[in-house]
Amino acid sequence: MCADCETGMTLNLQMYCGKCGGKEDNQGFRVVRDMVLPMLCRGNKFTVVCDNFFCTLRLSHYLASCGCQLLGTMRINRKELPDEAKTIKGRTPDTTIFFSKGKCKLISSFNEKKKLVLVLSTCHEKNEIEVVEQDVFIGKEKMTIHKPQPILDYNHKMGGVDTVDQMTRYYTCRRRTNRWDIRDLYDMIDIAALNAYKTYSNYHPCKRVDFLNNISGALMKMK
């Protein structure tokens, strides 16, 4: 699913129908390309925020060639990653290493929990990448940790799809069924109703429950 991180509107989605033939190479790249292609055809410029299943160096180059940007976490087994970014031996917790090549910036953060986080960004300039101090509680102890700005931006912008999932659960037309196609139909109706409400409420502010009641009443009157 492709969703706007600010409004939570669903922009595009693709159903996984199972494997077709052998193992698909670069599936994550293909899915993101399919998701953003309609917007690219309209000449839109935007930033894609994705998790480590989709984020690759190849994807960053493709989006850059289209005038778009990428921000995402990366898996440690990606072949294009330098060895220094993947190595944690000898590193002190709560430290960050930055790598830069052209428009691509790689952030290797070994956080206070001794977990390695890798973030690839083409939307941050080298002089804009700074480390921000935050006070957190680990157990009962208060500590000051250091988080790179790209990781903070990723955490802030990655909630578009989660917002859609959360809001569709509040008011849903789903009913218990064992048929997968009917479950998918319920999901499509919920997503369409949420998009319609967000568009309508921009011009005519109203409560979501009132909007859905009006829609359902109008649909029942249709012949």
| 36-76 pLDDT per residue, tens | 999 999 999 999 999 999 999 999 999 999 999 999 999 99
Average pLDDT over all residues of the chain: 88
- Residue 124 has what pLDDT? 84
Please state, in angstroms and rounded to a whole number, the distance separating the CA atoms of residues 131 and 124. Answer: 13
- Residue 68 has what pLDDT? 95
* Across 192-221, average pLDDT: 94
DSSP label of 173: -
User: Is 59 in contact with 69 (CB distance < 8 Å)?
Assistant: no
Please state, in angstroms and rounded to a whole number, the distance separating the CA atoms of residues 97 and 26. Answer: 27
- Residue 26 has what pLDDT? 85
- Residue 127 has what pLDDT? 59
90-138 per-position pLDDT tens digit: 898 888 899 988 889 999 999 888 899 999 999 987 656 666 767 776 6
> What percentage of the chain reaches a pLDDT higher than 70?
93
Place of tokens 């160096």: 57
- Residue 101 has what pLDDT? 86
Which of 219, 204, 206 shows the shortest CA–CA distance to 173? 219
* 25 or 5, higher pLDDT: 5
Cα-atom radius of gyration of the chain, to the nearest Å?
21
User: Which residue type sits at 116?
Assistant: L
- Residue 8 has what pLDDT? 86
User: Is 62 in contact with 70 (CB distance < 8 Å)?
Assistant: no
Name the pLDDT band for 143 (thresholds 50, 70, 90): confident
